[in-house]
Amino acid sequence: MNVEITRLASGLTVVTETMPHLESVALGVWIKSGSRNETDDEHGIAHLLEHMAFKGTARRSARDIAEEIENVGGELNAATSTETTSYYARVLRDNVPLAVDILADILTESAFDEEELRREKHVILQEIGAANDTPDDVVFDKFSEVAYRGQTLGRPILGTPDTVKGFTPGQIRNYLSRNYTTDRMFVVAAGAVDHATFVKQVEERFASLPMTPSAPPVLEAARYIGGDVRETRDLMDAQVLLGFEGKAYHMRDFYCSQILANILGGGMSSRLFQEVRERRGLCYSVYAFHWGFSDTGIFGIHAATGGNELPTLVPVIIDELRKSSETIHQQEIDRARAQIRAQLLMGQESPAARAGQIARQMMLYGRPIPNPEMMERLEGITTERLTDLAGRLFFDTVPTLSAVGPIEQLAPLNDITTALATPGIQTKKAAG
């Protein structure tokens, strides 16, 4: 792993991985701040700021930003999550100085023009409307809301129509000055990049970033609550999400949870896919996932099926969860590890994937994690650890259930909770 790290006097961290066989470079700025860092009256502002960064600076109009990067065949984009925000580009090696200049410009000199803000609010309102019209988006948003009720972690990243309409340029600048500071920002590049040259370019162009926040960043501690949320809609299929409190990135069972999710529903060979979809034909989509955050996590099973299949589907899923707490085969662990190893190695062939991976590891662990070390962590996972984890995850915590669509035949949460707690029991709807 040809990774070099420099921490500038300003506190900004610059990381590169040279991939000399390439002609392109993926580079970006990752900020350890997202929707969780919003105050109550800022719901949605992290995402709005990400949009507004591209809408003009002191030196460039919104059109100039788009044209300058595309005139050289490059790409420019951004993304907001619950705990991070990123702004990234991909260009040919000779155009790295231009990409650095544009990224620095939009992050240090954004104009936040009133007219541009009005237009972008309208765009985001359309985005919110589109998300509300997409059942598989709605089921996840509602799931988070009930799992972390009344908390920033449970709020939709996009905000609400009311909050978005009310934002002012001053509020955007306040969020920016509080969260976009050098101690929380990482500039990362992977590909045909020279570390020393890149560091000099970043140091020159990002010199105006504030070193300390205008006020302490907001980060409310997560409290997993769990519960039930349903929305009946006249749709062809039902979206169902059953989940439990998972593990944070730094917890001992984090990697164990990743392996368990892979075994249960990580691909066509997984238990849920084989039993629910292939053997029984109860749904067209089913998978398991584990999301880690800085202080909590979510382990979930998502299925999309017809409403008439729900009375049979849910008990089968519960039965597979129970089986995972009783027996895990070594072959399943080996297959999950092989899939993770392949993902890691394939990611090394993509500069964009490597830049993102390095940035995430820097934010979470303070250093890049070499692939051999990552695989070594996975080697210590045994069948006994996995069955023990499954028992604690699925049967010792309050579940969260989110459902959207023709869900009249979906059993009450109390019945599902009882079925999880009692071996062999069927839910009332299933028995009927």
pLDDT at 118: 97
Residue 1 banded pLDDT, cuts 50, 70, 90: low
The CATH class given to the 3-205 domain equals: alpha beta
pTM value is 0.92
Of the candidates 50, 83, 309, 320, the residue annotated as catalytic is 50
Q: What is the pLDDT of residues 13-53, one digit of tens each?
A: 999 999 999 999 999 999 999 999 999 999 999 999 999 99
pLDDT at 431 over 50: no
Q: What is the pLDDT of residues 141-160, one digit of tens each?
A: 999 999 999 999 999 999 99
Q: What is the pLDDT of residues 362-410, one digit of tens each?
A: 999 999 999 888 888 888 899 999 999 999 999 988 899 999 999 999 9
> Does 3-205 match 227-431 in CATH topology?
yes
pLDDT at 380: 85
pLDDT at 124 over 90: yes
Residue 214 banded pLDDT, cuts 50, 70, 90: confident
Asked if 188 contacts 15 with a C-beta cutoff of 8 angstroms, the reply is: yes
pLDDT at 427: 46
Cα gap 48→117, rounded to integer Å = 9
Residue 318 banded pLDDT, cuts 50, 70, 90: very high
pLDDT at 303 over 90: yes
Rg (CA), the chain: 23
- The residues facing 57 across adjacent strands are 110
Helices (H), 277-329: 310-324
Residue 384: active-site member: no
- Read off the pLDDT of each residue in 415-432 and give the average, rounded to a whole number: 64
pLDDT at 244: 97
Give residue 62's identity as a one-letter amino acid code. Answer: A
pLDDT at 432: 35
- Lowest mean pLDDT segment, chosen from 281-295, 375-389, 412-426: 412-426
Asked if 95 contacts 117 with a C-beta cutoff of 8 angstroms, the reply is: no
User: CB 173: neighbour CB atoms within 10 A?
Assistant: 14
Q: What is the pLDDT of residues 42-88, one digit of tens each?
A: 999 999 999 999 999 999 999 999 999 999 999 999 999 999 999 99
Cα gap 326→316, rounded to integer Å = 15
- Domain ranges (residues) in the chain: 3-205, 227-431
Q: Quick one: DSSP state of residue 110?
A: B
The pLDDT mean for the chain works out to 94
Architecture of domain 227-431: 2-Layer Sandwich (3.30)
